[in-house]
Amino acid sequence: MIAKRLPGYRDTYQHAIATDQDPAAELAREHLLPTAAAAEVVTLLATENTRITADVVCIRGGDVLLIERGWPPHKGSLALPGGHLDPGEYSHDAAARELLEETGVEVSPGDLTFVGLYARPDRDPRGRYISAAYTVTVPADTTARAGTDAAAVQWVPLHAPGELAFDHNEIVRAAWQQQLAAHPAAPTSPADDTPRLHTAH
């Protein structure tokens, strides 16, 4: 019965996600669904489509480039530059394109280093998102400006970026560990003095 009514529930679900509301609560309210049924609908809608994205840890000296998200979810929070792959696009090409579009920083896809795949089912409230994360180092005189989808940009210390949206702290930590491996004299995070091994998932 629920499966047959999914098209009618989808608009409510997507509107709730876009406006940072609880989709299960909105489905229960709008469609008079029991709590358990609303939760089942959310599970079905969240897993019906898997989206592939690419994120970039852009490093300048000891800093990482972040954007301020201009849209939900996590509107106003800092995050890594990144976004969806276009049809037929490779993930490293998407990473370089999104970095340019959101920050104005241009790099060659060939200069990107793979960090890992991030696929935890609950990493994005909009549904199932799998992200290919990359890191790239740019010259010390590199400047950035807010572009599409970014309300602002800023450089922050790689080893202490603060609280980021989604699982981007985990991605930045993995990139920082790569830096430690390549440059043992790099600063140690004051929030976590012992580097942890990254396991891509």
> What CATH fold (topology level) applies to the domain 50-182?
Nucleoside Triphosphate Pyrophosphohydrolase (3.90.79)
Residue with the larger pLDDT of the pair 69 and 48: 69
Q: For the segment 131-176, what is each residue's pLDDT rounded down to a tens digit?
A: 999 999 999 999 999 998 789 999 999 999 999 999 999 999 999 9
Rounded CA separation 160/173 (Å): 9
Length, in residues, of the chain: 201
Q: For the segment 81-93, what is each residue's pLDDT rounded down to a tens digit?
A: 999 989 889 999 9
| Domain edges within the chain | 2-47, 50-182
Residue with the larger pLDDT of the pair 42 and 110: 110
Rounded CA separation 18/134 (Å): 27
**pLDDT value of residue 195:** 32
**pLDDT value of residue 170:** 96
**pLDDT value of residue 125:** 80
Q: What is the pTM of this model?
A: 0.69
Rounded CA separation 27/17 (Å): 11
Relative to beta strand 50-60, strand 128-137 is parallel
Cβ–Cβ under 8 Å, residues 73 and 126: yes
